[in-house]
Structures are given as C-alpha cells and as structure tokens.
Amino acid sequence: MKRLNQKIAMMILPLGFVVLALGCTSAVPTDTPGVDQMGQYILKQEGPEVDVVLGYKFARGTVGDDWLILEMAITSPAKTSAKVDREDVWVKAPDGAKILLATQELFGKDYAQMRNVIAAADIARDPLEYFPPSRRPCLVQFFVAPGAGVAYDQVSVNDRRGCQGRLFFKVPGGIDPGRWTFGIDLEESTVRIPFEL
C-alpha cells in the first residue's frame, strides 16, 4: 500500500508543476493600468472591445526618420467583436502632436524610398502571438506594396480571429526620442499604450 501511495504521489507531483506553470504568465505590469510588458519591446492591453499587442522593436532604432513603423496584433475578447477603421488609429508624439495612421496613397507615394527600411523591419520584428491558439490568423491590411494587392480601411475582429499587421505613421519633422502613445478610438472604449523611443 505504501508503494502504491508513493507511485501516485510521483505521478501527481509533476502534474502539479504543469498546472502551476500553465497558471503563470510572463506579463509584467507597467506604470499604465491595463498595459502589460510581454517582452522587451512588446506591450499588451486587454479591453472590453479589443485586445491589442504592440511591437516597437524596430521603431527604437529609427529616431530621426520620417516614418514610424509599428507591429500590431489585435483580437476581441470572448463573445465580442469590433471594427477598427484607419482613422481610429493614431500615435501621440512626445511633444503632444497627434499623428493619424498614414493613408495607403501616402504610403504608396513614399514606398520606393522605404523599401530597404521595410526589409530591415521584416528582420527585426518580434513575434506577437500572445492570443489563444484557437484564434484563426488574419491580416491587418491597412497597407500593401504598390501593385501587390488591395489595402483596406477597416479591420474586423472577433473572438475567433487574431489579426496582425504593420502600421505606418508619417511623422512631420522626423521621429523624436521620448514617450509616445499608441491609440485606437473605438465606439465604446479606447486603447492607449505608451512606449519609449
């Protein structure tokens, strides 16, 4: 009987460690309520309409450039859905200036001189897979290379889709170092994710 209890204990102990590990998260709270640090240059905000993961690794090395490039993943919490329009997405510069997401037309006009920068951003990007694996992948396709397809002015998300895409902001006078804020204004809530460049 004693051997049987030892065997049961030896089987239950590893199971307990697995349960404990699954219950832990690598997210670190930031000084902004509701925003967690998921990686060195990855922030996540969960809200009533959308959950957003923001990657800004490449942007940290582009101070002084005209184009701010961010990575975003977005989904909706359980039993919700949301639509995000291009004009709902913006950043606030350290001087307080609000810069809207660029238009596809402006992006296309500057694309030729940005091609090498975009290729470098492809290499430097961090993975943003912080949503449940049951979410079907989709694209946030606000921007496409000229002649490479169709750009959309809206992305629709729900609790079954996890969309990712790159965001481009044309910054008048170039990117300044300091505290920036990424924002999305939705019908019933807002996303506000501060980050440092």
How many structural domains does the chain have? 1
Indicate if the pLDDT at residue 32 is higher than 70. yes
Q: Which has the higher per-residue pLDDT, 21 or 186?
A: 186
Q: What is the pLDDT of residue 3?
A: 58
Whether residue 61 lies inside any domain: the answer is: yes
Closest listed residue to residue 118, CA positions, set 128, 127, 108: 108
- pLDDT category at 24 given cuts 50, 70, 90 is very low
**Which band of pLDDT confidence, cut at 50, 70 and 90, is reported for residue 14?**
very low
Residue 92 forms part of a structural domain: yes
Whether 167 is covered by a domain: the verdict is yes
**Alpha-carbon distance 91 to 82, whole Å?**
20
Neighbour order of strands in the sheet with 42-46: 28-29, 35-39, 42-46, 51-55, 67-75, 161-170, 136-139
Residue 6: its pLDDT value, please?
54
- Give the percent of the chain with pLDDT over 70: 87
pLDDT of residue 172: 96
Task: Please provide the DSSP assignment of 160-195 as one string.
Answer: TEEEEEEEEEE-TT-PPSSEEEEEEE-SS-EEEEEE
Question: What DSSP element (H or E) covers 112?
Answer: helix 104-124
Give domain status of residue 10, yes or no.
Answer: no
Q: Rounded to an integer, what distance in angstroms lies between the CA atom of residue 148 and that of residue 161? A: 23
pLDDT at 171 > cutoff 60: yes
Q: How confident is the model at residue 190 (pLDDT cuts 50, 70, 90)?
A: very high
Q: Does 18 map to a domain? A: no
Share of the chain above pLDDT 90, in %: 80
> Comparing C-alpha atoms, which of 155, 157, 162, 165 is closest to residue 134?
162
Lowest model confidence (mean pLDDT) among 18-22, 110-114, 150-154: 18-22
Structure tokens at 80: 């919700």
Residue 2 lies in a domain: no
The residue range of the domain holding 85 is 26-196
Inside any domain, residue 71? yes
Judged against a pLDDT cut of 70, whether residue 93 lies above it is answered with: yes
Q: Where do we find the tokens 């307080």?
A: 96
* 15 is a domain residue: no
pLDDT, tens digit, 9 for 90 and up, residues 145-169: 999 999 999 999 999 999 999 999 9
Residue 42 has a pLDDT of: 98
